[in-house]
Structure 1
Amino acid sequence: MRRILTCLLLILALPASAQIYKYTDANGNTVFTNQPPDGQNAETVELPATNTVEAQPLTTPPSTPAGVVSPASYAVLELTGLPSDEAMRANNGTFSVGVQLEPRLAATHRLRLLLDGQPYGQPSNVPRLQLSNVERGEHSLAVEILNGEQSIQQSASVTFTVQRVNTSSPALRPPPPPPTPKPAS
């Protein structure tokens, strides 16, 4: 299989580096080759010039001066996957939330969560973000879009409650050991 692939690639590269000849064999088949056949009347095939594209000069996007926030460019920026009416059950405090964006996240932008108004986790370009070991109780959560270290847009804050298993609950305690039998007298 590798030989066939190699031969095909070489045949594709031939027009760029060799003369092509065309002739008809004894069975009436048209044959193209890079070597003129002995004893055959072969035509030289003139290939059209290959297409070329000139490299365009690189342009850098205009940068905003330090301290100036660029205008928000996302029409939709909101968190999804958080309950609105009931508490979120997360026994170990780990859960994930989605981020709905329109248009798609720009290549230079990153998403970061704000848990109770404080940055949470590493910035990411994935619209599904995970939280770990969040304490039980009421929290607020928002997502911000970063361009480098600069926040350029923030979603509305969503308030939710985390419900975790209470480890001091009698239902979670191990059962007491069975009573030891009394020696017979």
Structure 2
Amino acid sequence: MSVPMRYRALALCLLAPLTALAQIYQYTDANGNTVYTNQPPGGSHAREVQLPPLNSVPPATPGNTPAAPVSKPEPAKAAAAYSTLQLTDLPTDEALRANNGTFTVGVALQPRLAPGHLLQLVLDGTPYGTPGNVPRLQLVNIDRGDHSLAVRVLQGEQVVQQSAAVNFTVQRVHR
């Protein structure tokens, strides 16, 4: 079985870092395969493989280190990142019936949520729940009565954009 040329090249690349420590030998085995090794084989004729010297970079000293360019933070974009950002599935004309105070809301978003952006609800002006990347968000054990709800897009801890608040009423069974 012969070794394809790409495997020979791969073997040389993998063995190249070892050349600083050992010599590389090449020979043909009894089956006609080309073999690379750091040990000269006994009983067969091997030739030393001469590899070009390795590249090296001298260590930097405090006096000759170029200053890294200072990058300025980009100012916040004036235009909205999303043309559509709004809550869905909340009744506006009647009360939301949630006997245990648990319900889900949807988020209409155009374009799709960008990589690195997360959605978080804002209930009565306070961030609610853990940010996530799913446009379906759940609220749990919300008190009965009037509330406002918005959704914001976060990048890290920075608010990228926030929807308009929606006012709604939760109707629960009173115990």
Q: Same fold (TM over 0.5)?
A: yes
Counterpart amino acid of residue 104 in structure 1: L
SS of 1:32's equivalent? strand
d(CA) in 2 for partners of 1:40, 1:50: 29
**Aligned mate of 1:74, from 82, 90, 94:** 82
Match runs of 1:35-50 below 5 Å: 35-45=39-49
1:135 alignment partner in structure 2: 143
SS of 2:174's equivalent? coil
1:95 alignment partner in structure 2: 103
Q: What fraction of aligned residue pairs are identical, expressed as a percent?
A: 53
**Aligned mate of 1:163, from 143, 154, 171:** 171
Give the superposed CA RMSD. 4.0
| Preserved contact between residue 113 and residue 133 of structure 2 (Cα < 8 Å) | no
The normalised TM-score by structure 1 is 0.54
Bigger radius of gyration, 1 or 2? 1
- In 2 relative to 1, CA 44–77 (structure 1 residues): closer, same or farther, beyond 3 Å? farther
Counterpart amino acid of residue 62 in structure 1: P
The runs of 5 or more residues in structure 1 that have no matched partner are 1-10, 52-56, 168-185
Counterpart amino acid of residue 172 in structure 2: R
d(CA) in 2 for partners of 1:48, 1:88: 75
| Preserved contact between residue 89 and residue 105 of structure 2 (Cα < 8 Å) | yes
Count of aligned pairs between the two proteins: 146
**Aligned mate of 2:25, from 21, 30, 36:** 21
- In 2 relative to 1, CA 28–151 (structure 1 residues): closer, same or farther, beyond 3 Å? closer
Is 1:154 matched with 2:162?
yes
- In 2 relative to 1, CA 152–24 (structure 1 residues): closer, same or farther, beyond 3 Å? closer
